[in-house]
Each structure stands twice: as C-alpha cells, then as structure tokens.
Amino acid sequence: MPATTAKVIAIASQKGGSGKTTLAVHIATKAAQAGFESCVVDTDPQATAASWSDWRGDFLPVVVTSPPARLARTITSAQKNGVDFVVIDTPPHADAAAREAIKAADLVLIPTKPRAFDLAALEPVADLVTYANTPAFVVLNSVPAGATVLAGEAQEAAKDIGLKICPVQLGDRAAFHRSSAKGETASESEPDGKAAKEIDKLWKWLSKELKKIG
C-alpha cells in the first residue's frame, strides 16, 4: 500500500494508443466534479495530458509532468498542496515508468482495444501488477458498436493471463477524441451522449472499488 493518503490511480498499458491519456483525463475530471482536489501526473515524455491541460486553460484537474523516477516525490508534493486524488498517466513501451506508477498506485486501470495484437501486449503489464500485488482491472476501450463476441473474447484473453476485467466498457466514440482536442472531456462537450454515460458508469464503479480498498 502506498504511503500516501490521496487516492492514487495508475493508468498503464505498454501498447501505444490504447486510451491511457483519454482515460486519465476523463477520470481526473470526474473526480474534480465529485469534489476531489484531483491531479493528473503525466509521466509520459510525449506530455499529451499536459497539452490537453494547456488547451483546457485554468480549469480542474491540475496536470503536472513528472519523470517516472520522481513520481513518489511529485505525489507527496501534490498532497502537500491539498491534492487528494491522483491519476498517473504513463507512456507506452516503458516498463520502468509503468512499474513506478503501479508501485505508487492503490488501483491500476489497463485500457486496451479488444484486438488480438493489443491483447497480446497485456502480458508485461499483467506481470508488473502481479509482482506489485496492486489491484488492477482491464478496461476495454474503443469497443466497436455491436461487437459483443469480440468483447467477450477479449475478456477471456485477459482472464487467461490473470487480469480482472472492469465491468464497464468504453465504445468507439467520436466524442472522446473530439472533446480531447478541445481540452474538454466527453461529459463536458456532449453531456447527453453515450460516451458521457459510459464515463459516468465507469466513475461510479471506480468509486465503489476505491471504497473497498479503504
């Protein structure tokens, strides 16, 4: 268990473009709307979450960048400034960064597209969460409309390597990339849309899981 009082969620997956940053900014924004002092710690040298924050301007959540090696210190210092909910965004293809994030986290979310090559890339992150003994859930992302068989197969594949599955999936929805490009979230730009509803459900589920952890 990390030595922090803030809730810390790590978003990790070695596969590029699986939805890490999208998930990170949506969850951190939901947390802010729920009354948390929430913060995204962007450990990706691409700094995509930080760019999103630049486009967003002066609205919550705060996004700070941190090299993975300084992650623990960055979280401690955020906490000293009143942050009580941290979402760590991680780079693709970077075991060390993912390891540091998983070590600092209370819970790990692993977004993946439900495609064979993407699922094959879950193994390294599965090993990391098993080693760290941190609760972790695969979040199926960009699931095409009506792809129940594909989603079912993806769930089986994740289970086979010992990963738990988040019961809420995110569909392949333009609202996710349209909103991100404006420094917003889907819930803000299209509040009545399906993407917003999925994020609502995801947040409710996540809140319950965090309560279980205590």
Q: Which does 185 bind (CB under 5 to 8 A by kind): Mg ion, ligand ATP, none?
A: none
Which is closer to Mg ion, CB of 48 or CB of 141? 48
The structure tokens 């700070």 sit at 64
Task: Tell whether residue 18 is a contact of Mg ion (CB under 5 A).
Answer: no
Residues at the site binding ligand ATP, with contacts judged by CB under 6 A: 16-22, 44, 46, 48, 92, 141-142, 170, 172-173, 176-177, 180
What is the total count of residues that contact Mg ion (CB under 5 A)?
A: 3
> Is the Cα torsion angle 126, 172, 174, 16 positive or negative in sign?
positive
Q: Classify 118 as helix, strand or coil.
A: helix
| 8 Å CB contact between 195 and 175 | yes
Task: Tell whether residue 26 is a contact of Mg ion (CB under 5 A).
Answer: no
Q: Identify which range of 16-24, 25-33, 74-82, 172-180 contacts Mg ion by CB under 5 A.
A: 16-24
What DSSP state is assigned to residue 70? G
Determine the Cα–Cα distance for residues 202 and 54; give it in Å rounded to an integer.
25
Q: Minimal CA–CA distance to 30: which of 139, 174, 212, 184?
A: 184
Which is closer to ligand ATP, CB of 78 or CB of 170? 170
Q: Which does 177 bind (CB under 5 to 8 A by kind): Mg ion, ligand ATP, none?
A: ligand ATP
> Which of 4, 14, 18, 21: binder of Mg ion (CB under 5 A)?
21
E strand intervals along 26-84: 38-42, 62-65
Site for Mg ion in 35-54 (CB under 5 A): 48
What DSSP state is assigned to residue 193? S
Determine the Cα–Cα distance for residues 43 and 99; give it in Å rounded to an integer.
12
Q: Which does 84 bind (CB under 5 to 8 A by kind): ligand ATP, Mg ion, none?
A: none
Q: Which residues bind Mg ion (CB under 5 A)?
A: 20-21, 48
